[in-house]
Structure 1
C-alpha cells in the first residue's frame, strides 16, 4: 500500500498495461465450465448477472458443457484468480470524531496494488451439487476464506435448492442471491458502494455471515414470461465463535423477487427481511437482535441498441443491537439504526463501455450518547442529505478479461459543521 501523487499514479497505470502484453491463455473458471464468453452470464460488466447468469447460479453452478446427459454425475471443477487494484483519493472526508484528520490516509490518496487477490476454486461437483471456495489476500484488512456448497434439484423451468455458506465479507444473502441490487456485495453497480447503494450504505449486504438458505427459482410461475425467486434461511453474523457464539445468535432471513417482462424491458420487484434475536444483560454472553426490512426494484433492457439498467433500493428499517459481554468492542459489534434510499443506473454506449449515475440519501437514527451521561461516543457523521456518484466502466479482453472503472462521489452530510466531501476511486480488475 503506497501513497502516490497524480504523476506517479499515471506512471504506475501505464506500467501495469505494458506488463500485460505477455500471453496468458487460462480462462475464468465458469467460462471454462460453460464454454461461453463472460458476457453470456454478465450484464454490462462483471460481476453483475444477466438472466442466464442468474439461471447458472440457481443451478448450483452445475451447468457444464462437458455433460449433456442429464443423468451424468461427472464433476467440472476449475480455478480462477482475480486481482483488483484500487486508487482512492478523498477530499475532506471526516472520521468518527467528525474531524478530517481522522481519515488522512484516503484524503492523501492511497494506491493498493493489489487491493485484493483472490483464488476461486469451484463449479459442478455432481449433477445436482455445486461448490465454490474463495481464498482472499487483502492489503488493508485481514486475509479471508469464504465458501458455499449448493444442492440444486431441477424442476420444470427452474430449481429448488439448499445452500450452506460462510463468508468473511459478502453478507447474509451470500448463500443464494442472484440480482444486482446490492443484497449480495459483489452484485452492485459502483465500487464506491457506501455513497451509491442503500443496501450497502446501511451495511445489510456486506460483512461476515454463516448460514443456510433454501431457495425456489422458477420461470412461468404465475404467468407466461414471468419468474419467481424466493429464499428463506437462518444465519449468524460471523464465521467463528471468537466474538459471537454463532449457534446462539441465529437470525432468520427472507427474500422474494418477481420478474415480469413489459415490452422490451424486464421488471424485477423484490423485498427482503431479517428479524430475530434478543437482548441480554451487560454480564451475560453476547447476543444480537435485529430488525431489517427493505425493497428493491430493477429494470433491465434496451433503448435502441443501448443496454440499460435501473436499480432502486429502499431500506425502511435496519436496527441492529448488541448486548452482553463484548458489545461495542469492535466495529463489527457496533449498534446500527438507519434507513436509506438509492437509485442508480447504467447505459452501455458500446458493448464494452458504460456510463453510470447514482443518488443516495441516508438517515442514521442511532443515538451516540454514552449511556445517558451526556458524552458522545462518536459524532453522527453518517447522515447524508444526498450523495451523487458518477462513473464509467470499460471491459475488455487482452488475453484475459479485464475491467477499468473510474468513479467520483459528492456527499453532503446532514450534520451542521461537517463539510461536504468527495471521493475519487479508480479500480482495475483482472481475471484468469
Structure 2
C-alpha cells in the first residue's frame, strides 16, 4: 500500500505545481472559512457543516463586511469564483489512424473552455433568510448553466428551515433545487467529477460507475420550484418542474414531480444518511432552442452514506439503487429510459457501491466503486430484431485517486472497466470484441477554483 501511495503521489506531483496557498471561492470568501470547513476530504463532497450552510440558504457571513439597513443585509462585496478543468482521457476503442477523424481511442487533451470546464459562479447572501447561486458557462460544453434562489427562513429558533427554491438548470436535473448527500443524487456530489473526452466521450462512464441515479440519466434539464423543509434530522423536498431547461423558448408547464426524503443520523460515530427519491409525471423535454417534446419522468431511487474515520484516515462509504421502467407502446417515452440513452425495451436499473479513503488525510485519497446494472436493452431485439426478454447486463469497476495540491486545486486519476451483455452482445453483436467500442477508459484531470 505504501508503495502505491508514494507512486500515485509522485505521478500527480510530476504533472503540476503544489502551492501552499489556498485561494478561496464564492462561499469561502463570504464566510471567511477555508474550503475544508464545508467539504469532506475534497471538493465537491460535503460534510455536516457544508450541509448546514446549504440548508440555511447560503446566508452565513463571517469576516466579510455587510451592508445593512431596514430589511437589508447583504455582503459588501459581490462574491464570484471560477472553476476550470483540464486533463487527458483515453479509451481502448480502436483508434482512428486515417488522419481524417479521431475518436476516444486516440486519446484527447482538454483544456478550460475546450471540452473542459470554464465556469463563472456568482452567489451569496441576498438577505438574512435567502441566498443565490448561479453557474455561467464561459465556454465549452462540459460545464452547466444553472441558477437558484434559496428562500429558506428559520422557523423561530428551532433550527428548522423551510421555504421555496425556484431554480433552472440545463443539466443537473430536478435534484438541483436542493440536495446535499454525496451519493450522486445530484450529479455534482459524488466521489468522481471527471468530465468527458475531447474526441467524443461524454464522461458518463465515470459518474455512471459510482451513482445509480446518474446511470438512469436523471441529470436532465430542469426548471421548477422546490418546497423544502430541513432540520438536523434530514430534509423533505417536493418539487414541481419541467424538463425543457433554460433558453429553449418554452414556458415551464411544471408537469413533472420530484420527491426526496433524507434522514440524517449518527451510527457508531459515523455521520450517516439514508434517502429516497421519486420522479413522476410528464413535462416538456429539451429539444433544442425553441423546441421541446413531451416526455415522462418516471423513476425511483434509494441511497445512503457513512462518513467518518478508519483509524486516522477519513473514509466515506456510499450506495445507491435506481430503477426506471420502460414505457413500451406509450406515445410519451420515459426520459430516463429510452432508446436514445441505451435502453427503452425493459426496465433500466442499477446498484452502485462506492468507497473512498484518505490515506494521507486532506492530501491523498484512494477510491473504488462497482456497478451491477440492467441496461433496459433487450438482447434479443438488439442482436436479432426479436425480443426475448433478456435484459442486457451493464456492469462496471471503477478506481480513482485524488491529490489535493491545495484546498481549491485537485488532481485526479481515474480508471473504469465496463462489462456484461451490453458490451459483449449488444454493442458489437455476439462473439466480437467489446474493446472495439471502448469498454475501458482512463483519465488524468486537474480541477481548480479561485
The two structures share one fold, judged by TM-score above 0.5: yes
- SS of 1:174's equivalent in the other structure is helix
**Hey, what does 1:148 align to over in structure 2?**
148
Tell me if structure 2 keeps the 8 A contact 1:93–1:422.
Answer: no
2:214 to 182, 186, 200: 200
Tell me if structure 1 keeps the 8 A contact 2:366–2:400.
Answer: yes
- Return the alpha-carbon distance in structure 1 between the equivalents of residues 108 and 230 of structure 2: 42
Deviates more, 1:297-306 or 1:310-319: 310-319
Alignment CA distance shift 1:383-1:62 (3 Å): farther
Alignment CA distance shift 1:67-1:233 (3 Å): farther
* TM-score computed with the length of structure 1 as normaliser: 0.79
1:354 corresponds to 2:365: yes
Alignment CA distance shift 1:162-1:278 (3 Å): closer
- Return the alpha-carbon distance in structure 2 between the equivalents of residues 296 and 329 of structure 1: 23
1:44 to 41, 46, 68: 41
- SS of 2:72's equivalent in the other structure is coil
1:63-212 matched pairs, under 5 angstroms:
63-65=60-62, 66=64, 73-76=72-75, 77-92=78-93, 105-114=103-112, 115-140=116-141, 144-155=144-155, 156-190=158-192, 191=194, 192-204=206-218, 206-212=219-225
1:310 corresponds to 2:317: yes
1:425 corresponds to 2:443: yes
- Return the alpha-carbon distance in structure 2 between the equivalents of residues 275 and 170 of structure 1: 17
**Per-residue deviation, 1:424:** 0.4
- Return the alpha-carbon distance in structure 2 between the equivalents of residues 135 and 334 of structure 1: 32
Q: Deviations over 1:376-425 (max 9, x none)?
A: 9xxx9x9444211011111132xx72000101111113143352621101
- Return the alpha-carbon distance in structure 2 between the equivalents of residues 209 and 238 of structure 1: 6
Q: Deviations over 1:312-336 (max 9, x none)?
A: 00113355788479x9999589968
- Return the alpha-carbon distance in structure 1 between the equivalents of residues 418 and 320 of structure 2: 18
**Hey, what does 2:260 align to over in structure 1?**
255
Q: Deviations over 1:121-153 (max 9, x none)?
A: 100011111111211135346x75311111011
**Hey, what does 1:395 align to over in structure 2?**
404
- Return the alpha-carbon distance in structure 2 between the equivalents of residues 35 and 297 of structure 1: 31
**Hey, what does 1:98 align to over in structure 2?**
none
Runs of at least 5 residues in structure 1 that lack an aligned partner in the other structure:
1-12, 95-102, 220-226, 280-284
**Hey, what does 1:5 align to over in structure 2?**
none
- SS of 2:208's equivalent in the other structure is helix
Runs of at least 5 residues in structure 2 that lack an aligned partner in the other structure:
1-11, 96-100, 195-205, 285-291
Q: Deviations over 1:79-103 (max 9, x none)?
A: 0001111311111389xxxxxxxx9
- Return the alpha-carbon distance in structure 2 between the equivalents of residues 361 and 70 of structure 1: 56
Q: How many residues align structurally?
A: 387
Alignment CA distance shift 1:430-1:33 (3 Å): same
Tell me if structure 2 keeps the 8 A contact 1:125–1:131.
Answer: yes
1:233 corresponds to 2:246: no
Alignment CA distance shift 1:112-1:67 (3 Å): same
Q: Deviations over 1:29-88 (max 9, x none)?
A: 111111111000001110110000001111110011147999973212300001111311
- Return the alpha-carbon distance in structure 2 between the equivalents of residues 431 and 241 of structure 1: 26
1:17 corresponds to 2:31: no
1:208-287 matched pairs, under 5 angstroms:
208-219=221-232, 227-240=233-246, 242=248, 245-248=250-253, 250-277=255-282, 286-287=293-294
Alignment CA distance shift 1:316-1:329 (3 Å): closer
- Return the alpha-carbon distance in structure 2 between the equivalents of residues 233 and 247 of structure 1: 13
**Hey, what does 1:28 align to over in structure 2?**
25
Tell me if structure 2 keeps the 8 A contact 1:290–1:318.
Answer: no
Alignment CA distance shift 1:335-1:238 (3 Å): farther
- Return the alpha-carbon distance in structure 2 between the equivalents of residues 144 and 45 of structure 1: 21
- Return the alpha-carbon distance in structure 2 between the equivalents of residues 38 and 268 of structure 1: 22
- SS of 1:173's equivalent in the other structure is helix
Q: Deviations over 1:261-319 (max 9, x none)?
A: 1222122111000111289xxxxx93222321110011111112111110000113355
**Per-residue deviation, 1:369:** 9.6
- Return the alpha-carbon distance in structure 1 between the equivalents of residues 80 and 162 of structure 2: 26
- SS of 1:365's equivalent in the other structure is strand
Alignment CA distance shift 1:426-1:278 (3 Å): closer
**Hey, what does 1:53 align to over in structure 2?**
50
- What is the root-mean-square deviation of aligned Cα atoms in Å? 3.7
